[in-house]
Structure 1
Amino acid sequence: MTLILTREDYFPSPGMPVAVVDRSPQPSFPPHRHQFSEIVLVWRGNGQHVLNDRPWLVTCGDLFYIKDQDCHSYDSVNDLVLDNILYCPDRFKLELDWSQLLPLHDDKQSAHWRLTTRGMALARSVIKQLVQECRKNDLLSLQLTEALFLQLALVLRRHRYAIDSLRLPEGEQLDLLMAVIQANPGQPLDLASFCQRHHLSERALKQLFRQQTGMTIGHYVRQLQLCQARHLLRSRDGLIGEIAARCGFDDSNYFSVVFTRQTGMTPTEWRQRFIGATQTKTEKRRLMASGRSSD
């Protein structure tokens, strides 16, 4: 059964539009929905974030916009530290077109973005101020809270970039590397050539990556490929060998071994698990449409 997180449990007063929940660290958390919207910003560590049944490997700089009707959960976490910025659009008093700043109402836009290193520094400063103001109940604090949330939304809008973008972000070395990896997770990464092209120290980049994510670059790439494989096995009808190749595995047998070790199921078992669940949901919808409830 999916948990429902209520406004009363997280907002200090009925009029407060924003609340900040610091997860240091974020534990594994079962599937849940909210009576509010949410921005998730990951500061360090790593883990699996499942949003509307799609798994995402997350680490520092990952940014999610969660709608109130979305369902998400956290699993396989490793020192995962993040902030949840909760907000209730119906409580905003500023007459703004928030849809231009928060990609929540356009299904064509992904809920998952990345934030540059510069953007993270700016966002951290605004969030610290938000934490102080959103705990108060006076009128001035309510107004300051909404103004600070607007500032945060603008910072995120300016410094975020799509994970599948072919254009590199204007950021630091970690931003450049993450953009290249996430744009082509199934392609081999030539780290030496990447560092030479961008005039970076390969050793320093490896150290920085491990410090910020808790993983080596190779481990991160492999986990990203497996995350993509889990999604494709569930959403596509292609042969398992074709999916393995698309995710960067030349040997389908090796892919099966690695996938089974990671998930506890073979690729076929993983796919069958969700085929059964999808069929059950389809049957329930059919019965409800015909006027018969299937409790």
Structure 2
Amino acid sequence: MNLSMAVRSLQRGANLCEGKDLSIRVHYWGADRKHVDTPLHKHSFFEICYVVDGSGLYFENGQDFLLEKGTFFCSRPNQLHKIYEGKNLYLLWAAFEIEKENTSREQQLLFEELANEQNVYLPNSENEPAVLLWKTLMKHAEQQSSSEVLKAISLSLMLSLQALFCGVRDHQKPRPFYDNKEQMIEKAQRFIQDNLAQPLSLNEVARFFHISPRHLSRLFSEITGMSYTSYVRQERVREASKKIRSTNRSITSIAYECGFTSVHYFCRVFLQETSITPAEYRRRNQV
């Protein structure tokens, strides 16, 4: 199978899947026969993966899970996780969230249940209907089937995955492909915003997106008009400003929560970015 062609087809034709009282935004689809290790990170959305072949480890919440053929695993929103020690790790994955404004409360509750599901690891699942749906979807995508077909199968897959994970109690997770530079930077910006407490070095983020640090740096300058380092610093200060305004947490705690290595460095950067100290900013702006 031509994985690159299939994923590109899905990125274009199945990025918004809508059904009765349900709308799911798929941020990205992925498939890689030799998935590389990832740094510790988190997302503000779901990411569900299926192991087609190979082996590796998945880490979440202080626990390691063995990845081998036939395993599903789910990275829930805002949960730190990583994939490592991969050996010929062949993965399929999808990152998505529901669009609440176009989704009924009943359907929202299904995915809230998934977000709170503690069993994120399902080995020996190669005979589950979700596997057949995913493989069928990939085949249709490779054959350049219509967007209507891709969206219909994708929606069925998402509902099947939700039922698979949340039904465990009753019976008993790239190469990313990007159509353009703007899409690449949009994904990188969201990753940065979701992981401000992490170091976010240029090399580490570039490795996560499977591009060179030099290329990522060049794209940031070209698309945003600012350097990668400046953008990360700006986002850290933006998030810190929000926390200073809306919480009573100490300046020191906020500094570390937003990824600054010391409160002294945080105060210096905050002053450079806003022309005011964090303490004075709080006095003027706290809700």
TM-score, normalised with respect to structure 1: 0.43
TM-score, normalised with respect to structure 2: 0.44
